[in-house]
Each structure stands twice: as structure tokens, then as C-alpha cells.
A = this chain, B = another copy of it.
């Protein structure tokens, strides 16, 4: 019995992208089994390689943010303006199933790789362009800019109603995920059984703005469907239920959501079990029935204050109430690191074994191959140029004159 291949085994992805969104999209496809070749500059490290918390890693161009989305990828460091480099890139793109790029609109064509021409020449090719505000806008964008322009910051306003950036680059990651979905849909259409031979490839356009809008659809639902705005809900749950919210307890904060009658009943039972004062309980019950959110929240806070997050966690879980302590990212990370794939970073002071993000779902069939550790920029330059058909002497010349590069030590 042969083993089932991973979903994208045997497919080749050219990841000609920068910063967060594009590399994350390529990483997702690599986690599903594709061979991913990262095209990098010959003359310097991308921001996510060069910036980081750990000096030893950033000195090698292996900043933490790169490490979390660089595993499994090969690296070709090349000056795309050089004619020999263009030739090699043409060969590699022609051999690929997918080309990911997030240059500014028009830049890839200016480099000699017009997506329209690429898909005309290579019927098997899926080109996925990731932009900020869409292909028609050359307006420059980063995660923060899109958070502001999409209404996301306003939806995440603080207590005083002041718009606040969500404290991590969620738009970059959301658009990376959306790009992976877009590519999968195009690959599916390409390879599903059909009577006709394909005469052209497919060019996908994914934008950060589009991804933000998709993620926020429930917020737009009111204005778009009924012309009414949803009330702001940062302090409570999105449902606005009177017994849902974030509460201060003895040693931290507790998040509780009671969206259903049995959950509210469970919560009241749990409070009763801890000896909560009967009159407080009946006031709480009444406030919840009347959907008096501020009063219910204040009373519930009072009832919860005396015990720890761990005590409430156990008690509320036993009573079927969705609740959990509010934890720090590092705590969550430590828990999840057990399940994520691990790679060994070869450092001068010895190898460091670290967890890297997994695809985020599991299957009854194999999904993710074992991953090579993230490599330094240009680690595969020689081999990839050879695979692209260049002679050893030509490769040596390119490395000598800076049209290509590899790690110096």
C-alpha cells in the first residue's frame, strides 16, 4: 500500500514576494506540500529577515518573523534587472504551477514579466498578485493603512470610542490566507477532469483591502443590508448578550459568553454553587432578562471578583458556560508549540530547535511534509540557477559580478 501524497505534492510555487502577506501565502502552499522557491534580492535582506528581537538570528538574516514563514522554502538571491537573471527567472516561472508576487501594480511587467503575457505563454500557470488597495491603485499600503481605510480600526475602537489599530498585522495574514484560497481554487479548476485543453493560465488579484472587507463582513452587514450601523461591541461579546463580556477576577481577567438560555442558566447555577448572595443573584437574573447590559455586567463583575481565573475556568466549564482566562500571547504560544512542526536552525553557536506555525488544521490524510529549516538568503542560488539551465561558468560569473548571491560563509 502506497502512502497518500500531500495535497500539493509535486507542484512548484515561485514566491516572489516581500514582507508579510506574500511570504505567508507561499508558506501556506508549502505546508500543503508544494515546493516553494523564494526569489530574493541579490544585494540585501528583506525587512522580515533583517529585523528581529534576537541579534544572533538577525545577523544571519533569520529574523523571527521570517522564521515563522520561511520553513520548507528554497532561496534564490538574484538581481532581476540583469539579463542572465531574467533568463533564469523565465525558466523557473515556466516550470512552475504558481507565481506569487506582491510588487506594486505594474512593477512586475516593468521587470519584463507581464502577468498577461506569462499566462498566455504558460497555460499551466496561476499568477497571484497581492496588492494593497487593488490593482487599479498604486496607493502604497501596509497593514496599518488598510486597517484605517477599511473601518477596521474604527470597529476596534477603545472605551472612549477612539479608533485603535488591532495590535498585530492581521490584514497581512488574512490576505495571505485569502491568496492561498484563491490559488487553490485556480489549481482546482485547472486540474479537475474536463474535456478541454487549457489554452491560457489564470491571473488572480488579491488585495489587502479585499481581505479586510471579507473579514469584517458582519460589521458591514448592518450598513449594507439595512442602512443601520451595528453598535460598537469591543468590551462585550459581538452578540451583545447581557451576560457576555470580559470581567476582572482575583488574579486577572475572564472572558464569558452566554448566547443561549442554557448557558445563562449554567452561569447562574455556577454562581449559586459558590455561595453568591441570593439577592445579588436575583438582581443579576432580572437585569439579564431585561437585557440591561450595563447593570448585568456590573453585577456579574461583582459576583465574579472573589475567585481566580483557574477556579472560574474549572467551575464554568463544568456548567457548560463558554469561558476562559484572558492569556498573554506567550502563554498561548507555549501551549500550541507542542503541536506545530519543529525545525532546526543551524546557528554558529549550535543548532536551535524551534516550532514554526502549522497549516492550522488537521486531516485523516497526510497534509504537511517534514519541513526544511528556513535558510539564509541565496542558500540555493547555485543549484537553482543550474536547474534553470545555466552553465557552471555563467553561474560563477553572476556570483562574481553581483547578479546573484549566496551566503558569504
The interface of chain A, by Cβ under 8 A from chain B, is 2, 4-8, 20, 24, 28, 32, 47, 51-54, 57, 64-65, 67-69, 119, 132, 139-145, 147-159, 162-170, 172-174, 177-182, 184-189, 191-193, 196, 200, 202-207, 209-211, 213-226, 228-230, 232-239, 244, 246, 253-257, 259, 263, 317, 320-334, 336-337, 340, 345, 354-365, 367
Contacts and interface: CB of A to CB of B under 8 A. Distances in A.
Which of A178, A221, A255, A362: most chain B Cβ within 10 A? A221
Q: List 4 tightest A-B contacts by C-beta distance, closest first.
A: A151-B329, A148-B255, A184-B184, A151-B332
A224 B354 contact: yes
A255 B153 contact: yes
Contact of A217 (B69, B155, B327, B331): B69
14 contacts: A64-B225, A69-B217, A139-B324, A148-B253, A151-B330, A156-B166, A158-B158, A165-B246, A169-B218, A179-B361, A180-B181, A188-B191, A191-B191, A202-B363
B361 A178 contact: yes
A47 to B, nearest CB: 7
**Best-buried of A132, A218, A253 by chain B (most CB within 10 Å):** A218
A391 to B, nearest CB: 35
Given A2-B196, A54-B228, A174-B177, A223 B334 contact: yes
Contacts of A151: 327-333
B328 A182 contact: no
Contact of A154 (B219, B323, B326): B326
B145 A232 contact: no
Majority secondary structure, A binding face: mixed
Contacts of A238: 143-144, 168-169
Given A151-B329, A159-B158, A326-B148, A68 B360 contact: no
Given A142-B257, A203-B364, A205-B362, A174 B215 contact: yes
A337 to B, nearest CB: 6
Contacts of A47: 239, 259
A57 B225 contact: yes
Given A140-B321, A182-B363, 5 more contacts: A68-B218, A149-B332, A151-B329, A151-B332, A202-B364
A364 B119 contact: yes
Of listed A323, A331, A364, residue having the most chain B CB within 10 A? A364
A202 B244 CA distance: 36
A186 B244 CA distance: 37
A152 B336 CA distance: 14
A228 to B, nearest CB: 4
Contact of A221 (B65, B152, B191, B207): B65
Contacts of A169: 218, 238
B184 A188 contact: yes
The residue in A182, A236, A244, A359 that gathers the most chain B C-beta atoms within 10 A of its C-beta is A182
B329 A219 contact: yes
B255 A363 contact: no
A371 to B, nearest CB: 14
Contacts of A327: 148-151, 154
B167 A217 contact: no
A147 B326 CA distance: 8
Contacts of A244: 142, 144
Given A246-B153, A360-B213, A363-B205, A188 B7 contact: yes
